Structure 1
């Protein structure tokens, strides 16, 4: 170990966006190598613990495995490894940004000195940055003099981290709505790097951006942005508004001010956040001085001049036509203490941890600009003067929170007449969520009597003055907003069926989708073929991962989702959604082993088990009772278990049914094998297997199992028996309905099957079907069975040999090809290993008589067809199903053209 570095090296970082192999919740996964520190736990690192706690004192509260505050510090003193320290450090760094997360674990990967660090996050950007900073800090504390840690300044990097955290965080308004949605179990996903959020799934979705919703009228927003038009509409409705006019020049502004009568207000016609607003202007000079800034802040170059209404500044929040909160806004100011100058008082005020830049925190820092200095001077002070005790010095004229103002909750103090006026104003403009700005002496008295009125109507009003008032009780204004989008009892989720397993996922997913499309559902489906929305292929690619699932859940037409869930997607990013109503696990067999730390079939089963762990109490898991690894997953399901089994003597299924459980079984009878749905004592026949097109007369047992699993899933998802029977009987394995899944065609009298078979378990199932294919012909005829086989280059060497060996047991002649992508292997390397296995079987008197390598897929197809005679069977295990299918059609068309010409 002396040659190894005394530092943590990050080998890989992954972000899981949903339930995953390591955690049910979203998590960051870092694979790290601690090098020589494997032999140096923290008790052997002088000053390490003291230095770490000095920089991050919050670590003293971490419980770790001890279950009490200080438990982690005890582990540090006793001695723990730096990978474990990095986990807790990453959690604490997130905590300093306000992200309270306690989930984390560090485990050995089995390789000496290499660990998996898994910890939770609220925002993935913040989570990944925290992990990287944690590793740098730990390395620095171990040895500050290495090249990697030279110049490391934790305080500077931590400050940069906090700024980034604030930049990517949701604003107070968005977060308030999001918190309310989460409390109601409404799913959500962020749709951009800003504040565009989707609430709900598919057809039930609603979107928000800050406090604008899918229900907000674009026309109403335009009206509210035009202050002059808003005033005219409100005045026409008999609501109190100040006299006003729109101008484009400073001279016209002076004329209008004189006409209205001083004092006046000058502000941009289409501005926001109080920018460019000047109030209580008492003469021509002040109007001219204020015009330029208002003009600069106006997007279209129009300025509004209106009469100045004296009084306090109130914001009335109206949601869905009803007042939900009222706040008095007090302009940015400082209160004298007889000791500090105005500048010092501003600095003291801005040191309040609740104050930040812009809308990032519940209060905004006071900005001292030229306007503020002039306002202070107008009150008889310079910035260096010391105000008397309790003397107020204003630094802004408007009460906007964005300019450093504070808020006082007045929700339950307003006079009913004023509430009615505000609600009517929102209706007149047409906004579902409106901020009505009142200027009046006292909100507790009717403004029609005391004077005052509405000075502005705002679309997308900020919530922080109501959710985090400086004085008074917080108002839960997000509740009525979510009520608007999702009235009590309204659904926000669509049913999700997740299908996984080593083989049969796509076929089973397609059968389930077929059943529900026939019912009238708009089905969104993901599979290795692509993303299908309402029976239309919208994306052609391997779409069995979490990103494709999110695409389906974002589609506003989809009201039922079927996801094929592959091992790779779970290991790469997790499920991508929080839960599935029905989980289907078909089988677990050795495949893709040796990749991403999954070396055994038991570990592979744990990966597949993620969809079962994502089943809620109200959901169901459809499990293969004949596969011990799948059957064992029942212990990890919160919902009900539904078995399917082709073995008539499966005791576990019998006991389950006797206790009132559900199962789909295969019963033998005089007319053939029959699929039967069992629910307690009820036995409901579904279909004879030989009548289902995808079973090829019952010979394809693997498709019998797929049909049984699909029937069970459909039943759990709410389909009735008639629809299930109809769906099973009408689903075919044609190329156009299930491309690359046991597609049978005939070319020049030759039976040709196109299938994606690519691993040993699939070859065993396919071989059993091939053995039975000609059993109806009797023992006299003996057609050839020709196979074109291949596998992906990322399989283990022995898996490739085993594939060749298994294929040689069932085919008379074999052509070995390769995929276009070698996946890390040289051209021909995969084929040589498959050939080695086939030759081995041949030497042991296997069925195969001839084996040949033809690497190109299309060329191998042509040669296989040349070898075959009418009546023979050719099985093409494909990579590019479309290209192979087109080649078969071309061969058939050319042969037909030749016959016609003859």
Structure 2
């Protein structure tokens, strides 16, 4: 169907611009695979679909002819061309051009989509797949430049030159043919890989199963073997001492030494660098002293250690035998770069004709390399009595290089099945003697089909990291799939390559849930790698202290060679910024969806937020599980996005609508974790089909504080569901939950209880209204428990709260309003990072919300503002009486807990010495000074006088009874 063409208001201008570029390195909100995301602005071109731009489509097809193979939404070849002629917008065109440019660079990129940015006319999300992110981004930029050029020609823009520069850049950053062959074989076996540098160092597999390759060197390649292979003189001596056929050889350091060695060995000779590669610096068939002198300088220039080898020249054909794991896998005959005369064209013209072969490219860009005419080539020509202007007779083979390396323009002929068994045995023995797992044995002999011991010939070199291109893409003959034995060597059939990955997301509770899961599997003896908002933990050791809930931290865990089980806390921001950072997770846990981070990066509704967090559910394979909160309708809807099984968890009472839904699912063979109430309390029950397995009483779990922390009961249900889906035995799940406590050492910053002067002080990370509602309900239940255990005066509830500055104003006000329902006194602080707010702005909004709630009858009696977190903590402690309940919602929990421990230490010291007012290490910790200072800061921040502190809230000195 043709696009309705809008009426242009003026001439078309090259206004297409890239506003934002994102690189997704794993599943993301747009695609199951890694992708480039460009946000583009069409500007005035929003009024100009392709049908309204005369000549645009024809010029585009002429410059990028491969677009005619794009199916687009039509599902058939040429579908995109149809869209161009009917009319489509230029953001969509940029997507297809970027894909085709990557295809020209040898990258298989086929998937893309273009969608309008909601609410912003002329702006589009352009998403397309990539193989290498550098090439993918460059393709998008060149696509935009080309489209603008076709709209209105840009002075000095030469698309052919720009395309060649793009292809050269792609060739520089691309994997070589050998690495690519191994990675393709690994991908076919579902073995994941991570590129570790900009070159060819790659990790195959994850964690404890990981193996590394660099080109064709592997984790199993011995460093000593590589050193031996790099020393050609030593290699020859070792092979000769084993009785293998090798040429006579001497290593020299001077030109005079080379001449003397050549005379001793006897002409003709070969001169080559001791530690060279790719045939660089190798000079063959030297017949005189003059040739040896000249060859010595060439070879020394390519020698890293300045040592040159002189050896006897063995005549015959050049064969490369590839040995993997001690077995012959492929043999290729290497033919030096050459042209065949036709009696008509000059050598130069024949070279151009040969280089026009579409299989030839620059470097490793294609299966063959273009012949390069340089000084060495001219010298080889002269040795045959030719120059570039010569016209060789028909059928004459004119060499342009002496060595048969593919990198110098040579060709290869597959001889794998032609070799004589004796020659195969010699090559395999040579690889064993040197000690290489992957070795390239260079044979020179008249014919590989006859035994070299009879026909003459020798092993000239043993190469570490041999190239695969001549075997995988021979010029003549059948390709050999030699990557298979290499991958077999690293991952024998049946060997695991992946570690189990549990991904945990949600608005609240994901950190505690992740820690519970890690604790359970640690009890099973697993080496757990975990990411969370507190950092990266490897086997209970904090290795990086930072907000590590993003994709980079996930990759860091998967690269660690100790990790055999991974638990990833996945935050909304990381998914939007880079995707997951890995290809899939075996188990996905979603705790809940609540209003937080709304109004950021285009996420304005709970449904959109759920779509972002559902990425981990979409990344579950068919044999995996999603552990979903049945009580949350947004999470419940994610079941339709999961390819694997579902494990529900629910706190709903039996007989409720949600519980009936869960029970019905279990009756059909499903799994769930639920609560079963009784006179003795609530029992956590795991249901699988019609079986019910009792796990633990909720009030006996330390993390629930006698059942008061309902949110930790929900977290325990989620953790139990994940552990059950991960194959953990029932008794180990039970033991893990019973031994997991929210102490600072097991769960820092998450409901940590510290006794300070007979007052219960909780430290928590709560920072949004939904979390505050749960925390407030915990405070109500916990206070009720304490009141029933004590005959002391009424307990005061004091809370310190703060909101992140990047939340919406209404969300920040709501946080204060909810907190006011549960606390008698609120002290409002600010985070160290203001996130775009002015100092005091976020705190003022929190206080505003609390005061509005107070006017409507909320519990709170007083609101104070103390911006600095540590000062706010000291202020709260100064006004705390024995038996009070204090909740500190913190940003930097380590600093706050250190302050609490310091207070506790001095209180205990005062009790022992009989001096209840024992000084602290900081003279500013005097309670009266703290109160005056904090109130002064509060005045300045608020711009108004604070209310008088009621008598029961006045700070008092601790006495012996209080301690």
TM-score by length of 1: 0.98
Check whether the contact 1:171–1:361 (CA below 8 A) recurs between aligned residues: no
Query: Can you list the C-alpha shifts for 1:127-162, whole angstroms capped at 9, x where unaligned?
Result: 111111111222222233xxxx44332222222111
* Shift, 1:662, TM fit: 0.6
Structure 1 residues 6 and 386, CA, compared in 2 at 3 Å: closer, same or farther? Answer: closer
CA distance in structure 2 between the aligned counterparts of 1:457 and 1:155, rounded to whole angstroms? 42
What's the secondary structure of 1:382's corresponding residue?
coil
Q: How does 1:170-569 map to 2 (within 5 A)?
A: 170-569=175-574
CA distance in structure 2 between the aligned counterparts of 1:428 and 1:23, rounded to whole angstroms? 50
Check whether the contact 1:14–1:28 (CA below 8 A) recurs between aligned residues: yes
2:764 is equivalent to residue 752 of structure 1: no
Check whether the contact 1:644–1:663 (CA below 8 A) recurs between aligned residues: yes
Query: Can you list the C-alpha shifts for 1:663-704, whole angstroms capped at 9, x where unaligned?
Result: 000010121111011111111111100110000000100000
CA distance in structure 2 between the aligned counterparts of 1:183 and 1:717, rounded to whole angstroms? 25
Check whether the contact 1:208–1:214 (CA below 8 A) recurs between aligned residues: yes
Aligned to 1:135: 144
CA distance in structure 1 between the aligned counterparts of 2:132 and 2:410, rounded to whole angstroms? 29
Greater shift after overlay, 364-373 or 449-458?
364-373
Aligned to 2:672: 663
2:597 is equivalent to residue 601 of structure 1: no
Check whether the contact 1:309–1:452 (CA below 8 A) recurs between aligned residues: yes
Aligned to 1:794: 806
CA distance in structure 2 between the aligned counterparts of 1:308 and 1:161, rounded to whole angstroms? 43
2:25 to 5, 11, 17: 17
CA distance in structure 2 between the aligned counterparts of 1:28 and 1:370, rounded to whole angstroms? 44
* Shift, 1:459, TM fit: 0.6
CA distance in structure 1 between the aligned counterparts of 2:770 and 2:69, rounded to whole angstroms? 51
Structure 1 residues 360 and 84, CA, compared in 2 at 3 Å: closer, same or farther? Answer: closer
What's the secondary structure of 1:774's corresponding residue?
helix
Greater shift after overlay, 748-757 or 338-347?
338-347
Q: How many residues align?
A: 898
Check whether the contact 1:502–1:589 (CA below 8 A) recurs between aligned residues: yes
Aligned to 2:647: 642
* Shift, 1:498, TM fit: 0.3
Aligned to 2:934: none
* Shift, 1:212, TM fit: 0.3
Consecutive unaligned residues of structure 2, counting only runs of 5 or more, are: 1-7, 916-963
Check whether the contact 2:787–2:795 (CA below 8 A) recurs between aligned residues: no
Check whether the contact 2:337–2:371 (CA below 8 A) recurs between aligned residues: yes
Check whether the contact 1:42–1:77 (CA below 8 A) recurs between aligned residues: yes
CA distance in structure 1 between the aligned counterparts of 2:314 and 2:121, rounded to whole angstroms? 75
Aligned to 1:850: 862
CA distance in structure 1 between the aligned counterparts of 2:836 and 2:214, rounded to whole angstroms? 45
What's the secondary structure of 2:518's corresponding residue?
helix
CA distance in structure 2 between the aligned counterparts of 1:354 and 1:612, rounded to whole angstroms? 43
* Shift, 1:23, TM fit: 0.8
Aligned to 2:946: none
Query: Can you list the C-alpha shifts for 1:193-251, whole angstroms capped at 9, x where unaligned?
Result: 00000000000000000000000011001111111111111111111111112122222
What's the secondary structure of 2:837's corresponding residue?
coil
* Shift, 1:99, TM fit: 2.1
Check whether the contact 1:641–1:661 (CA below 8 A) recurs between aligned residues: yes
CA distance in structure 2 between the aligned counterparts of 1:452 and 1:528, rounded to whole angstroms? 65
Structure 1 residues 113 and 731, CA, compared in 2 at 3 Å: closer, same or farther? Answer: same
2:876 is equivalent to residue 864 of structure 1: yes
2:740 is equivalent to residue 735 of structure 1: no
Check whether the contact 1:7–1:142 (CA below 8 A) recurs between aligned residues: no
2:161 is equivalent to residue 156 of structure 1: yes
CA distance in structure 1 between the aligned counterparts of 2:156 and 2:251, rounded to whole angstroms? 58
Q: How does 1:671-750 map to 2 (within 5 A)?
A: 671-750=680-759
CA distance in structure 1 between the aligned counterparts of 2:242 and 2:515, rounded to whole angstroms? 58
* Shift, 1:351, TM fit: 2.4
CA distance in structure 1 between the aligned counterparts of 2:122 and 2:375, rounded to whole angstroms? 60
Check whether the contact 1:677–1:684 (CA below 8 A) recurs between aligned residues: yes
Check whether the contact 2:13–2:151 (CA below 8 A) recurs between aligned residues: no
2:828 to 816, 824, 828: 816
1:59 to 59, 67, 78: 67
1:95 to 78, 98, 103: 103
Query: Can you list the C-alpha shifts for 1:738-787, whole angstroms capped at 9, x where unaligned?
Result: 11000011101111000000001100100110111121345775200011
* Shift, 1:6, TM fit: 5.7
Aligned to 1:107: 115
* Shift, 1:346, TM fit: 1.6
CA distance in structure 1 between the aligned counterparts of 2:382 and 2:289, rounded to whole angstroms? 19
CA distance in structure 2 between the aligned counterparts of 1:41 and 1:363, rounded to whole angstroms? 41
* Shift, 1:393, TM fit: 0.9
Check whether the contact 1:167–1:360 (CA below 8 A) recurs between aligned residues: no
1:838 to 850, 855, 860: 850
CA distance in structure 1 between the aligned counterparts of 2:599 and 2:784, rounded to whole angstroms? 39
Consecutive unaligned residues of structure 1, counting only runs of 5 or more, are: none
Check whether the contact 2:439–2:465 (CA below 8 A) recurs between aligned residues: yes
Structure 1 residues 533 and 211, CA, compared in 2 at 3 Å: closer, same or farther? Answer: same
CA distance in structure 1 between the aligned counterparts of 2:877 and 2:167, rounded to whole angstroms? 66
Aligned to 2:942: none
CA distance in structure 1 between the aligned counterparts of 2:369 and 2:244, rounded to whole angstroms? 32
What's the secondary structure of 1:665's corresponding residue?
strand
Structure 1 residues 396 and 639, CA, compared in 2 at 3 Å: closer, same or farther? Answer: same
Structure 1 residues 264 and 232, CA, compared in 2 at 3 Å: closer, same or farther? Answer: same
* Shift, 1:811, TM fit: 0.4
Greater shift after overlay, 96-105 or 173-182?
96-105
2:130 is equivalent to residue 121 of structure 1: yes
CA distance in structure 1 between the aligned counterparts of 2:552 and 2:27, rounded to whole angstroms? 14
TM-score by length of 2: 0.92
* Shift, 1:181, TM fit: 0.4
Greater shift after overlay, 816-825 or 29-38?
29-38
